[in-house]
């Protein structure tokens, strides 16, 4: 194959947008698994047969059994951060699915706490690998103008996973044997097997291939993704941007040192932003609702188990409906505005929920449930898609796998903390728990406004040039407000970036187009 004129290869008969949609389906399966695994234990925390099987654990032990999964996810993400860059995006995704299947089998066959805890940890290892690589795989194969929407689609599928888990929990609650909880846990194996099969037939990320010296294959994959020959302006501009970004980062060694140093492109600052985004979304309190909605409705609001399961299932359906909104606004409104809007809404809902729960009474209990519904709406619009899209955009190519995985480590670490403390916090300080999370949400408004540059609509490579030569994050934030590609290029030149490495304006504006 000629490096300059590679064939436009098809993958399972697909190229261009259909191939992009197939990759989105693959990544969506990863997030569906994520959502299912998060949601399935929510209904089990109030399941009498499940609790009886594991010696009726108290709030602290129950919280540990649920949260120990996050420890597995954390170590899976750490493993991906250390060794994932050498294996490629889709390979890690497939291996993560295989490990998840092993952990699921252990959980399903559990007859005691130690076995269940081991199964939860192993399942978490697999999920840590999947969540570390899926957003990167999507962002590195998708044109800038569609990147936010495609990741928003994935996050809708995450909620589909939660909804499926909740309603399977509800349906199986009518059974009178251990199948009541074993079947819901085991069912996720179906999705994991499908994810492995899809990964086997799709192409690797062209940006990963190019950064590891597989230039011919990278160009071939890019031609297939854009359904255009290498000579077309679309492919030529995008591939030039990829090579220029690699050249800009060529002084870096591609090791852990790069993640924690400036490198001329503010490497460690960008890693810190990626980690902060993941940690902040956990401190919003969303996983109290995802993991413990029935528990919260029974213990905080005072509903019975049937009502709690029914309203929790409805909550996730509302969650799903709201998740379609980011499909249409994520790339138009931008990341920063949505972060700020979501945090304001979530903080307000947490405050009102806490006050209503403190006052008590049936009417106030209903009001608290309404606030929990609205909270999920604000989270979905402001943070759900944003927080998975943003780290993969903000990080430089050379550090994207390590930095992205490290951000997921922070996500799982803070998730473990929140999920672990939620039951005892709700038991001991009750309504004050909601006030604490309201404060966390309002603090995140200032952080997003001051330190988060806008990345919507920009190619991954042009984001590198926002940081090149900048003196501070605030300077980058101001640069990012300039929406014109030419102005951005001029800013990079003024900062001392070589002219031949300035990102292509054509690549910025034309990558969404397809050549038939």
**How wide is the angle at C-alpha 515 spanned by C-alphas 510 and 516, nearest 5°?**
150
- What span, in angstroms and rounded, lies between the C-alpha atoms of 343 and 46? 30
| pLDDT of the residue at 5 | 57
Q: Enumerate the H helices of 360-399 as residue ranges.
A: 362-379, 386-394
- How far is the C-alpha of 125 from the C-alpha of 84, rounded, in Å? 13
The candidate with the shortest Cα–Cα distance to 209, out of 185, 234, 229, 239, is 239
Cβ-based neighbour number of residue 260 at 10 Å: 16
Using the 8-state DSSP alphabet, how is residue 261 labeled? S
CB 503 within 8 A of CB 465: yes
Q: How far apart are CA 241 and CA 500, in angstroms?
A: 10
3-state secondary structure of 10: coil
Q: How many helices (H) and strands (E) does the chain have?
A: 25, 0
The residues facing 14 across adjacent strands are 11
Residue 190 to residues 27, 33, 134, 196, 512, Cα–Cα distance (Å): 15, 10, 18, 10, 33
* Distance (Å, whole) CA 155 – CA 27: 10
CA atoms within 13 A on the CB side of 154: 35
Half-sphere exposure of 6 (CA within 13 A, CB side): 23
In sign, the C-alpha dihedral spanning 165, 169, 171, 176 is: positive
Architecture per CATH, 17-206+265-451: Up-down Bundle (1.20)
Q: How far apart are CA 117 and CA 106, in angstroms?
A: 9
Rounded-to-integer distance, Cα 328 and Cα 152, Å: 9
- Whether 330 and 381 have beta carbons less than 8 Å apart is answered as no
Task: Return the number of other C-beta atoms located less than 10 Å from residue 333's C-beta.
Answer: 16
Question: Distance between CA 383 and CA 214 in Å, rounded?
Answer: 35
Nearest C-alpha neighbor of 140 from the set 241, 274, 38? 241
In which residue are the tokens 């199986």 written?
172
Quote the pLDDT of residue 3.
46
Local confidence pLDDT in tens for the 516 residues of the chain: 444 555 688 898 898 999 999 999 999 999 999 889 877 887 787 778 888 888 888 777 887 888 788 889 889 988 887 787 888 899 999 999 999 999 999 999 998 889 999 999 999 999 999 988 998 899 889 888 888 888 888 888 988 898 898 788 888 887 888 888 899 999 999 999 999 999 999 999 998 999 888 999 999 999 999 999 988 998 988 898 888 877 866 655 456 666 777 667 787 888 899 999 988 988 898 877 766 666 677 766 667 777 777 777 788 788 888 889 988 888 888 889 999 999 999 999 999 988 988 887 777 877 888 888 899 899 989 998 788 788 888 888 777 777 887 887 888 788 778 877 877 887 788 788 889 999 999 999 999 999 999 988 888 778 888 887 777 888 898 888 775 444 344 344 344 444 444 444 334 444 434 433
Cβ atoms of residues 119 and 107 within 8 Å: yes
Are the C-beta atoms of residues 515 and 223 closer than 8 Å to each other?
A: no
Q: Please give the full DSSP string across 45-94, using - where no structure is assigned.
A: TT-HHHHHHTT---HHHHHHHHHHHHHHHHHHHHHHHHHGGGT-HHHHHH
């Amino acid at each position: 194959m000629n490096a300059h004129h590679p064939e436009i290869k098809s993958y399972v008969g697909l190229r261009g947008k259909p191939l992009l949609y197939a990759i989105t389906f693959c990544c969506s399966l990863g997030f569906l698994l994520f959502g299912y695994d998060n949601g399935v234990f929510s209904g089990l925390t109030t399941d009498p047969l499940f609790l009886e099987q594991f010696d009726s654990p108290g709030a602290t032990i129950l919280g540990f059994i649920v949260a120990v999964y996050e420890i597995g996810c954390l170590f899976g993400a750490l493993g991906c951060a250390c060794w994932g860059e050498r294996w490629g995006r889709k390979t890690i995704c497939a291996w993560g699915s295989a490990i998840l299947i092993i952990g699921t089998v252990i959980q399903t066959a559990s007859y005691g706490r130690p076995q269940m805890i081991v199964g939860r940890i192993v399942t978490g290892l697999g999920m840590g690998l999947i969540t570390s690589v899926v957003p990167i795989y999507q962002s590195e194969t998708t044109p800038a103008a569609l990147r936010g929407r495609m990741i928003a689609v994935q996050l809708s599928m995450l909620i589909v996973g939660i909804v499926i888990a909740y309603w399977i929990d509800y349906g199986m609650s009518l059974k009178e044997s251990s199948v009541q909880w074993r079947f819901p846990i085991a069912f996720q194996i179906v999705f994991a097997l499908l994810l492995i099969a899809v990964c086997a037939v799709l192409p690797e990320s062209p940006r990963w291939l190019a950064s590891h010296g597989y230039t011919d294959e990278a160009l071939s994959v890019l031609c297939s993704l854009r359904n255009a020959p290498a000579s077309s302006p679309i492919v030529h501009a995008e591939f030039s941007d990829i090579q220029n970004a690699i050249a800009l980062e060529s002084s870096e060694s591609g090791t852990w040192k790069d993640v924690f140093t400036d490198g001329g492109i503010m490497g460690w600052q960008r890693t810190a932003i990626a980690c902060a985004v993941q940690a902040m979304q956990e401190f919003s309190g969303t996983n109290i609702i995802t993991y413990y909605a029935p528990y919260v409705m029974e213990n905080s609001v005072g509903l019975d188990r049937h009502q709690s399961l029914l309203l929790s299932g409805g909550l996730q359906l509302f969650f799903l409906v709201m998740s379609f909104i980011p499909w249409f606004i994520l790339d138009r409104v931008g990341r920063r505005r949505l972060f700020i809007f979501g945090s304001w809404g979530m903080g307000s809902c947490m405050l009102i929920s806490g006050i209503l729960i403190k006052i008590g009474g049936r009417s106030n209990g209903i009001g608290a449930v309404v606030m929990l519904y609205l909270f999920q709406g604000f989270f979905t619009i402001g943070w759900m898609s944003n927080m998975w899209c943003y780290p993969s955009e903000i990080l430089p190519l050379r550090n994207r796998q390590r930095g992205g995985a490290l951000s997921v480590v922070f996500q799982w670490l803070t998730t473990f903390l929140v999920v672990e403390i939620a039951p005892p916090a709700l038991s001991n300080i009750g309504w004050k728990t909601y006030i604490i999370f309201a404060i966390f949400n309002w603090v995140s408004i200032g952080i997003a406004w001051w330190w988060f540059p806008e990345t919507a609509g920009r190619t991954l490579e042009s984001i590198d040039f926002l940081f090149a030569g900048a003196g501070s994050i605030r300077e980058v934030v101001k640069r990012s407000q300039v929406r014109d590609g030419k102005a951005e290029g001029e800013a990079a030149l003024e900062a001392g970036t070589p002219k031949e490495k300035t990102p292509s304006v054509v690549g910025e504006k034309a990558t969404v187009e397809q050549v038939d």
